[in-house]
Amino acid sequence: MNKLNKKGIYSALLTPYDKNGQIDFKALKKTVSFEKSKGVEGFYCCGSSGEGLLLDKEERMSIVENVAEEVGDTPFIVHTGSLSTRLSTELSIHAQKCGASAISMIPPIYYNYSLDEIASHYLNVANKIDIGVIVYNIPQFTGISLTKNDNFLENEKIIGIKHTSVNLYELERMIQQYPSKTYFNGFDEIYLSSLAAGATATIGTTVNICPKLLIAIRSDFENGKMKEALEKQHLLNDLIETLVSTNVFPAAKYCMELQGLTMGSCREPFAPLNQKQKIQIESSLEKIKNYL
């Protein structure tokens, strides 16, 4: 098992497909190797960026197995969130067997579960494994906003929070309430702000594309160079604005294609990019060429 990097910059790893829409495992391993060479300090598999909820159980397990073969001693976290506790448990046990540093889960969605049911979901999975659980708080996608008042977070098997929310007040409150946990920023566009709020690590889509830029932001922050850090965050946000306006996950894959990697399209119902969108992305990527 690779030790969790509590201050790391983790790539929310994209999932490459071949021309038939099947996972391209050769391209996946090449992506991991490429990103490591660019300074990525950890990987997060099968999350939102990796289209985890569009993959079946066997595909998710195969991704983890292939990533585990390629990462070496770089830590990797596996997102095992699903609609059912049973499936999340299976995926989590498998991730542990593959050497994952930790697993992470969105809360169970679709049905309007009570907070007690959500807590039981996390703890029932946590009790079946010997590695830590990172709660994936992403209310924009799940409709569920976890806060410091969710007492299950105090459980020692819950080792961290992936806070994918612009509500930095709630992040600061959770850090104050549970200071021993590791806090991961989840929105790249507020990376610098999240560091100021107390997050120590980040897991992001643009880490695939330009890890050197996020590393530079962190370095400036740690050295008290706030003006320089903010300038770099502005640069990152210009890219993010383009990605979001053109459909963020297909756009992120195109950014990787422009750097020589095979990605393919995202799975339906995601739509392919049109030529106008591609031109916008190309122009935006050119502006950060010094950080590629």
- Which amino acids are annotated catalytic? 136, 162
Cβ atoms < 10 Å from Cβ of 242: 20
Strands in the chain per DSSP E:
9-12, 42-45, 76-79, 102-105, 132-137, 158-163, 182-185, 201-204
Main-chain dihedrals φ then ψ at residue 141, nearest 5 degrees: -100, -35
Quote the CA–CA distance of 135 and 153 in Å, as a whole number. 8
User: In DSSP terms, which residues pair with 45 in a beta bridge?
Assistant: 78
Q: Is the peptide bond before 179 cis (omega within 30 degrees of 0)?
A: no
**3-state class (DSSP) for residue 77:** strand
Please tell me the chain's helix, strand, coil percentages from 3-state DSSP, rounded to the nearest 5: 50, 15, 35
Cα–Cα distances in Å, from 123 out to 60, 79, 177?
22, 15, 19
Quote the CA–CA distance of 129 and 97 in Å, as a whole number. 10
